[in-house]
Structure 1
């Protein structure tokens, strides 16, 4: 289910190294911080949907064998960016896209950055900008110093102007280069969409929608100060080519449309204010997505009995949907009904075509909450299997620690806690718990070696 992680320790990100952004203007841009911390969201339903959107586009871009990973960022901004082999997609971008095609256009654009090697070239450009800034600063400093030595106020001011001018020139050069990259990625996106047999209408519509919302599209027109062309300009630049595609009028798959709306409902309910999901579907209040959002909001409001009735109605309407069963599991789990929650999660796992490790871990988590000592070995096996497939599932480590603690295996409980902290970027806490675990675990065992690895591994 929808889980927030405070940071992403796996990425050595920097704001300048990320070739971002898909569609946003300069204000909405949410590049990663210099410390690499990002509010990450883990959710099997949305991850599966976005992965399905991306698969044909990765193949069309020649990236299907590149190990590209898609990561969800808990941010309301309409934004996506790439860093390394990862595509980061804000939940706000999913919420704001009204159709699958619009989000596929965003993904195709980011793949244009990846396939075009824009990250590497941007780094080179940044290094060149640093050199230009350094040279002009030294030159300006020399002129200013000479002016001060001779008592020439004009020369000192000229030196200061040279330093400022060099910095401004480097910044404008970077921004102009970045705008060119964005246009190149837009054109590449159209190519990938057509190769995949998808319409480019969604990409054009995204620009039009963004233009209507963009304050900067109504500003004084000093576009050279932005690292991105204005949305309306981008739409105009690609619309003719998009219309020439034989797939321009191809509609979105109705099944994907429903799943897209369900994902939007979930995001609105979990990240917005009470009533946001209802307002999102005010024009279609009887839709399955509207009912889904309402069930989640009811659950979050603390009314488990009412939420269970609503989710049971959803399950009756869509018995093959695994995510409704997963929601039922979450409601039961948070109500302390672990055994029933495990049953619901097992149903979700059987229905899930993606074989999500998150769902398997949730079965184990529910078994831990059940309080039955007899099921602890199965719970541990399920959670550890899930973590082998997906070591970044921080929530699972917490329940693994609980399971080992209840068995009396304090060393492994402390190791699980250390690994949770390690995978969420809290490295000091990770080393503290790993050191405790290392004192209790035999050095020759895999668990003992993992504990010592955490203690001895240098900070990334």
Structure 2
């Protein structure tokens, strides 16, 4: 179109463009269904924390066992998003927003959500949905082609609207069928979740409470909506069916174990301290609240937003209360490291590694502190610790970055380039990864293990979206 011009389409061209647009949009939907799993850097922004991830493993382990998925190595990944949401996208991970963790008042509430997502995995809903989408795309194309014939005839006879109707009516029916299928999947996942909770002796009340709360909040927005054009069951109907199913369980009134509730409260306090503004943290956990979770949240907020000395004093008080808690020692080490005192961070981080039985994320933090001291005497220890951590967390870009620096301290430029290339690759920077790997190849002996790993990166083709 030129400035000031006007494009006028014939009736036939209009319906053809409309049908093509609908078919194309469906093709995009098919292609983007597993988008979260397609690339490393372009996936959802994730948060990592040993304490929280261990709690989520403890939550999901019995559910996955009941679903027959315990040997599938399914992980729970935390998304950096403050809203309440959870979903599955690649068949091997359950994604949960940190907002869902923060807003779940009891373990049972978030376990119910995780059980629902496990229901999707156990039912193979992702692959089945892809098949339905592919089938719907084919049906759309056929409907479009058949409709074009009617459109041509209509254009010749002057009845262009009849051709448009011949295309749009089948498309609407196909979309309704697709959405109906997705609603059935959601209902099946609800039923599976209650089944898994019953099998593990847990109540479905938390799941019901969560869904009920969001149904009440979204009730107005669904009023007047076409139930056949919704991808999820209508809120009121879904909650009513879930309540009936959940109340029939003999475990309906079963409470969470107090020790598990305490861990849950500590996790929520940690999420608040790290992810929310200081004033929000102090509003949730006022000075008058002397509980351990409240003290934990305020100590984190003090280190993140306040006076470092005050923060260290508060963390030391936590350690005095629970000297065997690895995450208090980790917090102290992290506060000192980020406060520009890597040498002072070594002792608490070594203690945290010991108490956590060599948790890899904490080992990486220790490795970072060792590198941060600029003391060449620590380089070999850092390399040993970081390599051990990366053997169990091979997709941690930060670990490779610190490993590259440690190799640089030792003057091992080949390994430094290779580690830097691996870090860039994991960040999704394919060009930098290939450039660094190419340089690493020139430093390694041809055919050596390092040369082979570098060559793999050079020859890796970037994933196309």
TM-score, normalization by structure 1: 0.88
> Is 1:445 the counterpart of 2:448 in the alignment?
yes
Distance 1:135 1:261 in 2: 55
- Farther-moved stretch of structure 1 (411-420 vs 207-216): 207-216
Count of aligned positions: 433
Partner of 1:75: 81
In structure 2, the residue corresponding to 1:214 is in which secondary structure? helix
Greater radius of gyration (CA): 2
Alignment of 1:194-273 (within 5 A): 194-214=198-218, 219-273=223-277
Maintained 8 Å contact 2:285/2:298: no
In structure 1, the residue corresponding to 2:278 is in which secondary structure? coil
> Is 1:420 the counterpart of 2:423 in the alignment?
yes
Distance 1:58 1:309 in 2: 41
Partner of 1:5: none
Partner of 2:366: 363
Measured after TM superposition, the shift of residue 169 of structure 1 is 2.3
Alignment of 1:4-83 (within 5 A): 32=36, 37-82=43-88, 83=90
Distance 1:316 1:19 in 2: 49
Distance 2:66 2:33 in 1: 20
In structure 2, the residue corresponding to 1:78 is in which secondary structure? coil
Partner of 2:133: 126
Maintained 8 Å contact 2:30/2:134: no
Maintained 8 Å contact 1:16/1:123: yes
1:14-60 Cα deviation digits (max 9, x unpaired): 9758989xxxxxxxxxx849765211111111111101100111111
Distance 2:76 2:254 in 1: 26
Unaligned segments of structure 1, at least 5 residues:
1-13, 21-30
Partner of 2:388: 385
Of residues 319, 326, 329, the one that matches 1:322 is 326
- Farther-moved stretch of structure 1 (169-178 vs 122-131): 169-178
Of residues 143, 150, 154, the one that matches 1:147 is 154
Measured after TM superposition, the shift of residue 222 of structure 1 is 2.8
Partner of 2:3: none
- Farther-moved stretch of structure 1 (357-366 vs 267-276): 267-276
Distance 1:312 1:168 in 2: 63
1:121-170 Cα deviation digits (max 9, x unpaired): 1111111110111111112222222222x2x332x222222322333222
- Farther-moved stretch of structure 1 (257-266 vs 369-378): 257-266
> Is 1:136 the counterpart of 2:143 in the alignment?
yes
Of residues 83, 92, 98, the one that matches 2:99 is 92
1:41-85 Cα deviation digits (max 9, x unpaired): 111111111011001111111111122122221122322112222
Measured after TM superposition, the shift of residue 255 of structure 1 is 1.7
TM-score, normalization by structure 2: 0.87
> Is 1:103 the counterpart of 2:107 in the alignment?
no
Partner of 1:3: none
Structure 1 residues 223, 351: closer, same or farther in 2, change over 3 A?
farther
Alignment of 1:426-441 (within 5 A): 426-441=429-444
Maintained 8 Å contact 1:278/1:285: no
> Is 1:332 the counterpart of 2:336 in the alignment?
yes
Distance 1:165 1:316 in 2: 70
Structure 1 residues 445, 284: closer, same or farther in 2, change over 3 A?
farther
Maintained 8 Å contact 1:217/1:231: no
In structure 1, the residue corresponding to 2:180 is in which secondary structure? helix
Q: CA RMSD in A?
A: 2.3
Maintained 8 Å contact 2:303/2:335: yes
- Farther-moved stretch of structure 1 (209-218 vs 307-316): 209-218
Maintained 8 Å contact 2:82/2:97: yes
Distance 1:231 1:430 in 2: 47
Distance 1:230 1:299 in 2: 45
Maintained 8 Å contact 2:179/2:229: yes
